[in-house]
Amino acid sequence: MSRRHFLRSATLAITGAALLLGTSGVALAADKPPIKVGVLHSLSGTMAISETTLKDVMLMLIEEQNKKGGVLGRKLEPVVVDPASNWPLFAEKARELLAVHKVSAVFGCWTSVSRKSVLPVFEELNGLLFYPVQYEGEESSRNVFYTGAAPNQQAIPAVDYLIEEGIERWVLAGTDYVYPRTTNKILEAYLKAKGVQAADIMIDYTPFGHADWQSIVRDIKAFGSAGRKTAVVSTINGDANVPFYKELANQGVKATDIPVIAFSVGEEELAGIDTKPLVGHLAAWNYFQSVETPANAEFIKKWRAFTRNAKRVTNDPMEAHFIGFNMWVQAVEKAGTTDPDKVIDAMIGVSVPNLSGGYSAMLPNHHITKPVLIGEVQADGQFETVWRTRGLVAGDEWSDYLPDSKDLIADWRAPLSCGNFNSATGKCGGAK
**For residue 23, is pLDDT > 70?**
no
Domains, the chain, ordered by start? 3-149+292-370+398-426 (3.40.50.2300), 152-285 (3.40.50.2300)
pLDDT at 27: 52
**For residue 10, is pLDDT > 80?**
no
Q: Which long-range contacts (CB under 8 A, 24 or more apart) does 253-256 make?
A: 253/217, 253/220, 253/221, 254/280, 255/279, 255/280, 255/281, 255/282, 255/376, 255/377, 256/280
Question: What does the pLDDT look like over 318-364, one tens digit per residue?
Answer: 999 999 999 999 999 999 999 999 999 999 999 999 999 899 999 99
pLDDT at 216: 97
The structure's pTM equals: 0.89
Torsion of CA 336, 340, 136, 387, to 10 degrees: 10
Is residue 132 reached through a cis peptide bond, with omega within 30 degrees of 0 on the bond before it? no
Question: What does the pLDDT look like over 33-79, one tens digit per residue?
Answer: 999 999 999 999 989 988 999 999 999 999 999 999 999 999 999 99
Out of 45-49, 273-277, 372-376, 419-423, least confident range: 273-277
Mean pLDDT of 388-397: 95
Nearest CA among 269, 257, 278 for reference residue 316: 269
Beta-strand relationship, 351-353 and 383-388: unpaired
Confidence of residue 29 (pLDDT cuts 50, 70, 90): low
Mean pLDDT of 234-259: 90
What lies within 8 Å, CB to CB, of 366 at 6+ separation is 140, 141, 142, 144, 145, 146, 347, 348, 397, 410, 412, 419
Q: What is the mean pLDDT of the chain?
A: 92
